[in-house]
Amino acid sequence: MTSHSRPVRTRFAPSPTGFLHIGGARTTLYNWLFARRHKGTFVLRIEDTDEVRSTTDSVTAILDSISWLGLDWDEGPVGMDGEKGPHAPYYQMKRLDIYQKYLKELEEKGFAYPCYCTKEELDEMRRLAQLEKRPPRYDGRCRNLTEGQRKDLEAAGKKSSIRFRMPDDGVTVIPDMIRGEVKFENRLLQDFVIRKTTGGPTYNFACVVDDHLMEISHVIRGDEHLSNTPSQAQIYKALGWEPPAFAHLSMIMGPDGSKLSKRHGATSVLEYRQLGYLPETMRNYLALLGWATTDSKQLFFGNELIEAFDLAGCQKSPATFDAVKLTWMNGEYIRKLALKDLMAAADPFLKAAGIPADAQPPLEKTVSLEHEKIKLLPEIPGLVDFFYREVAYSPKAMDKVLKAPGAKEVLTSLAAALANFEPFADKALEEKVRAFCVEKGLKTGQVFHPIRVACTGRTEGPTLFLMMEIMGRKRVLERLRAAAAILAA
């Protein structure tokens, strides 16, 4: 329970006209966190009343995105065909009969009326309003048509929408859990369409009916919906229903101060999965886009986010999306992963790079060498692929290391020294190679660097001697000799 007195029931209600973007993902997360924090219910509802733009592909992408983020819903769609929960159906286009009932009630009570204005007439209203520097609102010309006038319009083949009759004066006050009281002057608002000429409901009407019937206690959504709220509040009032508590989240901006968009990078949640971010990272980072604890804690593990989340921590000012911080955070989460979990997360990227799960040496060993360095999952194949492929020497490695004076002799002599050396293991190898340096009167860099480049083709990489142990004697000797042969040629 919260101060709103009803059992907590939140919802995320996306329109399936595209992918789930960062803003929608944050809204989903906040609703999920609030429900989990208060031992409530999280509902997923598909608002597919846009007959032209709604697609099943978008529904699939949205469900996949929310599932990948680990935000399980208690009621809503199951796959593409099933639904779970006592308030089904959870697709608005399956609820048309329900909306019709309440449309009729609003008309009978005098709160709604048919409007016969065409698109061209509405466009002309807007044009004139702009010329006269008035708000571009509907002028109410169909408000007071007589029954006879309506019949004449219908006989002439005019199709009607249905509009909700807003109050002419007074103020609609919205108590907002983030912004405090927000007031709207009714004279500046317009009679809005609640049923389209196609017969389908509009967003402002359908979401009110659904939120009431699904017993939603808290509507937590982006601030782009704040302007819709007085219209929705008047529908609640007209139908005699108690409205939910509202909380409108701040906008998410790009680093340049403009609204977050594709020009700032990936915006779809599924893109972040493809880029190699962990769902745990995305949950943590999204939570911090407009919310903070009193101690400004940055990293949350396990159930810490659920335990900490409170709408009182949400800010009114816009949040800034910082890809650099997100990538840093992903590295922190990757370092916390158990090796088996890291391997499971990396598996699609390793397979895409042509490195099979049963590759030798075992992937668990080679990936573990670089565990501390990884920030994004797609980096992993490139960090370990030299174990599984022919060595490709970088120009820098060839010019600065292998072509250095004496490098060929170092590789040839060292290959001979290690041919029968036992045990071929990390610490013993380090002792042996250091002793080799002393014996030959060489600095460690004159030996260590050629070994690394001969074995990997690179000037940088994992801990040298542990890498040699995992690579194994046969392959190390082959690579030392192959590099020496190239230099001899």
Residue 193 pairs in a beta bridge with: 163
Residue 32: other Cβ atoms inside 10 A: 26
The Cα–Cα gap between 47 and 206 comes to 8
Q: Of 262, 297, 325, 396, which is the active-site residue?
A: 262
Residue 415, burial from CB neighbour count under 10 angstroms (0-12, 13-18, 19+): buried
Classify residue 454 as left (phi > 0), alpha (psi -120 to 50) or beta.
alpha
Residue 46: beta bridge partners? 91
- Within 10 A of 108 (CB to CB), how many other CB atoms are there? 9
Distance separating alpha carbons of residues 219 and 244, to the nearest angstrom:
6
262 part of the active site: yes
Q: How many CB atoms lie within 10 A of CB 406?
A: 13
- Could you give the CA distance from residue 402 to residue 135 in angstroms, rounded to a whole number? 74
How far apart CA 307 and CA 73 sit, in angstroms, is 18
329: Cβ contacts below 8 Å, ≥ 6 apart:
281, 284, 285, 298, 299
Q: Distance (Å, rounded) from C-alpha 443 to C-alpha 437?
A: 6
125 three-class SS: helix
- Cα dihedral 118, 121, 123, 125 sign: negative
Copy the structure tokens of residue 195: 């049923």
Q: Which backbone phi and psi does 193 adopt, to 5 degrees? A: -75, 130
Q: Which residues are designated catalytic? A: 262
